[in-house]
């Protein structure tokens, strides 16, 4: 059965928004003046969480460091890509402006909370279980953060989807 027009339109919008968003954040002025300061904020929050659980870390820019271990939060590790996937799917979805705004705000908070947990656990793994760091960094957490954005979209879209018209067969 061919895809319905609304499904094709959603996919076209989704990919167009996603490509445009990736191009925007890859542009040096946006990266330098928006993404890097955002990532520094992610590092400060993650560092504060680590300090809150008794880890003696220092944060400088995007680097969280102690005498045991250090992590540099680069693009790809700041949760921005997951938020872009969420942004593209929510903006492309047929919902009210208010529903989209609420979805974007709640989704961004959820993704960033999970990403902060990711950074904290990666630091702890690097400091105390270094043999597990690479696997969790490249596989486990990358997948979980992206899947969380997709799961959030699926839950959000099921709640705000316009009611389907009854069809007769």
Quick: pLDDT tens for 17-48. Answer: 999 999 999 999 999 999 999 999 999 999 99
Q: Name, in order, each residue with C-beta under 8 angstroms of 164's C-beta and a sequence gap of 6 or more.
A: none
Task: Please check the confidence at residue 165 and state whether its pLDDT lies above 50.
Answer: no
Residue 77 in tokens? 């590790």
d(CA 94, CA 10): 8
Predicted local confidence at residue 6, as pLDDT: 86
Mean pLDDT score of the chain: 93
pLDDT band at residue 74, thresholds of 50, 70 and 90?
A: very high
pLDDT band at residue 166, thresholds of 50, 70 and 90?
A: very low
pLDDT per position as a tens digit, 103-141: 999 999 999 999 999 999 999 999 999 999 999 999 999
Predicted local confidence at residue 3, as pLDDT: 61
pLDDT band at residue 1, thresholds of 50, 70 and 90?
A: very low
Domain assignments of the chain as residue spans, ordered by start: 5-160
Lowest mean pLDDT across 5-9, 67-71, 127-131: 5-9
Query: Residue 72: enclosing H or E segment and its boundaries?
Result: strand 70-72
Burial 142-151 (b: 16+ CB within 10 A, else e): bebbeebbee
Q: Name, in order, each residue with C-beta under 8 angstroms of 50's C-beta and a sequence gap of 6 or more.
A: 57, 64, 120, 123, 124
Predicted local confidence at residue 164, as pLDDT: 65
- Per DSSP bridges, beta strands 58-60 and 70-72 are unpaired
The answer to whether residues 120 and 83 touch, using CB atoms and an 8 Å cutoff, is: no
Predicted local confidence at residue 5, as pLDDT: 86
């Amino acid at each position: 059965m061919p895809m319905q027009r609304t499904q094709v339109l959603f996919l076209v919008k989704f990919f167009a928004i996603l490509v445009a968003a990736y191009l925007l954040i890859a542009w040096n002025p946006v990266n330098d003046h928006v993404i890097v300061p955002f990532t520094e904020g992610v590092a400060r929050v993650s560092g504060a969480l680590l300090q809150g659980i008794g880890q003696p870390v220092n944060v400088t820019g995007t680097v969280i460091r102690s005498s045991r271990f250090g992590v540099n939060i680069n693009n790809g590790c700041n949760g921005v890509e997951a938020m872009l996937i969420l942004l593209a799917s929510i903006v492309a979805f047929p919902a009210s402006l208010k529903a989209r705004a609420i979805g974007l705000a709640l989704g961004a908070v959820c993704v960033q909370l999970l990403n902060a947990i990711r950074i904290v656990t990666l630091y702890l793994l690097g400091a105390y279980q270094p043999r597990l760091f690479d696997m969790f960094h490249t596989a486990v957490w990358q997948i979980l953060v992206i899947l969380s954005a997709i799961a959030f979209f699926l839950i959000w879209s099921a709640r705000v989807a316009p009611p389907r018209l009854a069809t007769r067969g």
